[in-house]
Amino acid sequence: MSPMIFFLIFIIESATEKLCPLRPVIDVLEGEYFFLCYPESMREHIQDKANKINWYKENAGKQHLITETHRIVSKMNFLEFWPAELSDSGNYSVAYSNGKQNFTVPKWTLNVLERDKSSCFNKNHLTTEIKNAGTGHSLKCSDLSINQNDSIRWYKDCKIYENETERELDFKTLVVQHSGIYTCKILISHEGKMYYSTNTIKLVVEEDAPEAVALEIVGLDEEIATEIGKEEVLNCTAFLGYYMREDASLYWLINQTFPEKCTGIPGNEPPICEEALKTLQLGNEFYVTRLLQIKKVTNEDMHHNFTCVLQADERTQIKIVKLKKGNTQDLPVHVFTTGMVLAVLFPCVAVAVVFVCVMFRVDLVLFYRSICRRDDTAGDGKEYDAFVSYLKDCISPSEEEREFALNILPMVLEENFGYKLCIFERDVCPGGAAVDDIHSFIDKSRRLIIILSQNYISDRAMYELKSGLHKALVEKKTNIILIEYMPISDYNFLPESLSLLPPKRVVKWKKDKSLPANSRFWKNLRYLMPAKPNKVNTKGHYNTLALGSEGTQPWTEVRDFGPVI
């Protein structure tokens, strides 16, 4: 065997060892060079010339032998695609026979992803690396070619990055500004044509977290004003640090006695019971919380000490909660008698008033704000009335959601009602650290408006949501408004931590019916926004063509969304 042939076999063997793990599911972008190959456990059979190798693709539940074409080529232990197409998606397997024994590799599931025509990468075809600032790091381009002379080019956020052409992108010292989405592009020559393969990595650089943090109960001792017979739920939340502590214990005591556990069975709950411990992760911070339910407050409960205890690292922290009677006074006898007489004589009037207040509470509140020129924004130090979070990385073909966020929403709230919005794509100068910018602008905003759709959760949108949840739950500085822009049948894609927040509402967009500035949608949205004494112009009506809609949506509503901000 000549040295050149031996060297070639050595290179192929090394590439096989590096690139051929048995992965049950593989994602690849359409139009790019790609290959399937034997896993490590079968490499020893490749050099046997008597071997018979067959590749199969599953169609309609049956295995079909793959026939080679100019585009799909079987070479040694490789099945190459020049390039991969959407129709190549499916289940693949390979069978090997040496005339005596048959070997079959478990099937691969190959997903060929459609290219995002508005971006240089597909958000579903990237990996994420989170590193601390101040350390060195290298981004490695996936080696999908054996020839070391193949041309390589790096991109950052879809722009050419400093003419880097090496297979590894080295950072001697990471800083937060290095955060971004990096794509390497390998150009491969085959039969006189040029093909390419890409690899995309999202690099998140964070400031160093303290190695040791003090575990603590959130909040100080407090007294809660209540009334006899009223139901109360006491909440105790503790900060555990930057990883989940298995040795941490959080529980309630009533006058140094353990309460009973809640059974979860309606009608069979103890008068006072302790719920199960719940864990919560906000970004890289971990919390635990435990609730104490008091079904009906008694006079005896006013003299109890309800103590929340946190034990960790052989240390104990406590928080004491006491109940006290609210500052209410008994009504004079003549006032009580008059009220009773009116309640008996005019029940229909009372019912009608209640009905009007419930059905038109939004209109009544907006009318009250307009008459009193109430201003909730004066002196709070905030720069924006709301930060708008919407899906940015994956735009729908009609771009309806993007049009709504960038044009319709600010057109009505800013020009008609005088609000000031912060829209990342419109108001934030490019070139900064996106993570820091998002955190800063949410902190400067009184509300966080989240435009929900079934595909809402992306990397940036998830960070915006988590930042808002942190400020609403822990810091209690920001309220969240959810706009259901497109019908959503399943809310399970949202974080479980929403269940810890107090109940709020979702505003539903109903396209044509919602377009007038005086429609129910905009009234409901203004109801959830901070009050501002601005002149209101409700004569605006925006062309439905701006949203790409074709009518048919009958009405807009605000509906309960369970325990959401």
DSSP states of 86-122: GGG-EEEEEEEE-SS-EEEEEEEEEEEEPP-TTSSS-
Select, from the ranges 178-187, 262-271, 306-315, the one with the highest average predicted confidence (pLDDT): 178-187
Mean pLDDT of the chain: 76
Judge if 168 and 85 occupy the same domain. no
Structure tokens at 445: 């905003």
Judge if 103 and 137 occupy the same domain. no
Q: Residue 208 to residues 174, 176, 239, 242: CA-CA distances in angstroms?
A: 11, 10, 18, 11
Judge if 434 and 392 occupy the same domain. yes
Provide the percentage of residues in the chain whose pLDDT is more than 90: 8
Cβ contact 558:529 at 8 Å: no
Judge if 138 and 247 occupy the same domain. no
Judge if 184 and 235 occupy the same domain. no
Question: CATH number for the domain including 265?
Answer: 2.60.40.10
Residue 83 clears pLDDT 90, i.e. is over it: yes
3-state secondary structure string, 401-433? HHHHHHHHHHHHHHHCCCCCEEEHHHHCCCCCC
Supply the pLDDT for residue 12. 43
Residue 478 clears pLDDT 80, i.e. is over it: no
Domain contains 481: yes
The residue whose two tokens read 């729908």 is: 396
3-state secondary structure string, 498-564? HHHCCCCEEEECCHHHHCCCCCHHHHHHHHHCCCCCCCCCCCCCCCHHHHCCCCCCCCCCEEECCCC
Residue 406 clears pLDDT 70, i.e. is over it: yes
AA letter at 73: V
Domain boundary among 60, 81, 113: 113
Supply the pLDDT for residue 85. 94
Residue 191 clears pLDDT 90, i.e. is over it: no
Domain contains 352: no
* Alpha-carbon gap, residue 255 to 276, rounded angstroms: 20
Supply the pLDDT for residue 393. 56
Q: How confident is the model at residue 11 (pLDDT cuts 50, 70, 90)?
A: very low
Supply the pLDDT for residue 492. 65
Judge if 449 and 384 occupy the same domain. yes
Domain boundary among 178, 206, 234: 206
Q: Residue 78 to residues 10, 55, 90, 96, 531: CA-CA distances in angstroms?
A: 15, 10, 17, 13, 66
Residue 557 clears pLDDT 50, i.e. is over it: no
Chain centre distance of CA 200: 20
Domain contains 343: no
Supply the pLDDT for residue 328. 52
Supply the pLDDT for residue 357. 78
Q: Which member of 464, 475, 484, 496 is catalytic?
A: 464
Cβ contact 234:307 at 8 Å: no
Nearest to 219 by CA among 206, 236, 198: 236
Domain contains 336: no
Supply the pLDDT for residue 564. 33
What confidence tens digit (pLDDT) does each residue in 153-176 have? Answer: 899 999 988 777 788 899 988 888
Domain that holds residue 105: 3-113
Supply the pLDDT for residue 13. 46
Residue 75 clears pLDDT 90, i.e. is over it: no
Supply the pLDDT for residue 182. 93
Q: Give the residue-averaged pLDDT of 430-446.
A: 73
Per the structure, the count of domains in the chain is 4
Q: Residue 286 to residues 216, 434, 474: CA-CA distances in angstroms?
A: 12, 23, 11
Residue 219 clears pLDDT 60, i.e. is over it: yes
Cis peptide before 503 (omega within 30 of 0): no
Supply the pLDDT for residue 430. 66
Cβ contact 323:307 at 8 Å: no
Decide if 40 is catalytic: no
Cβ contact 484:516 at 8 Å: no
* Alpha-carbon gap, residue 391 to 283, rounded angstroms: 19
Would you say the pTM of this structure is higher than 0.75?
Answer: no
AA letter at 283: G
Domain contains 388: yes
Name the strands in the sheet holding 384-389, side by side, starting at the edge strand that comes first in the sequence. Answer: 421-423, 384-389, 445-452, 479-484, 505-508, 558-560
Helix, strand, or coil (residue 2): coil
Q: Give the residue-averaged pLDDT of 31-51.
A: 65
Residue 100 clears pLDDT 80, i.e. is over it: no
Nearest to 225 by CA among 302, 295, 325: 325
Nearest 5°: CA angle at 285, between 281 and 290?
Answer: 55
Supply the pLDDT for residue 112. 92
Nearest to 46 by CA among 37, 34, 57: 37
Nearest to 153 by CA among 131, 138, 172, 169: 169
Nearest to 94 by CA among 47, 60, 57: 57
Domain contains 35: yes
* Alpha-carbon gap, residue 260 to 291, rounded angstroms: 12
Judge if 24 and 168 occupy the same domain. no
Judge if 105 and 138 occupy the same domain. no
Residue 181 clears pLDDT 90, i.e. is over it: yes
Judge if 528 and 414 occupy the same domain. yes
Helix, strand, or coil (residue 345): helix
Domain contains 353: no
Cβ contact 190:33 at 8 Å: yes
Supply the pLDDT for residue 535. 57
Name the strands in the sheet holding 306-312, side by side, starting at the edge strand that comes first in the sequence. Answer: 222-226, 315-325, 306-312, 249-254
Cβ contact 450:465 at 8 Å: yes
The residue whose two tokens read 């010292």 is: 173
Q: How confident is the model at residue 329 (pLDDT cuts 50, 70, 90)?
A: low
Domain boundary among 143, 176, 206: 206
Judge if 472 and 437 occupy the same domain. yes
DSSP lists the bridge partners of residue 269 as: none
Q: How confident is the model at residue 307 (pLDDT cuts 50, 70, 90)?
A: very high
What confidence tens digit (pLDDT) does each residue in 332-386 have? Answer: 566 667 767 766 776 777 777 777 777 888 888 888 888 888 888 888 888 898 8
Q: How confident is the model at residue 518 (pLDDT cuts 50, 70, 90)?
A: confident
Structure tokens at 194: 């040029």
DSSP lists the bridge partners of residue 506 as: 482, 559
Residue 209 clears pLDDT 80, i.e. is over it: no
Judge if 417 and 495 occupy the same domain. yes
* DSSP structure class, residue 14: H
Supply the pLDDT for residue 306. 92
Judge if 456 and 553 occupy the same domain. yes
Q: Residue 178 to residues 160, 161, 308, 428, 434: CA-CA distances in angstroms?
A: 14, 11, 43, 18, 10
Domain contains 244: yes
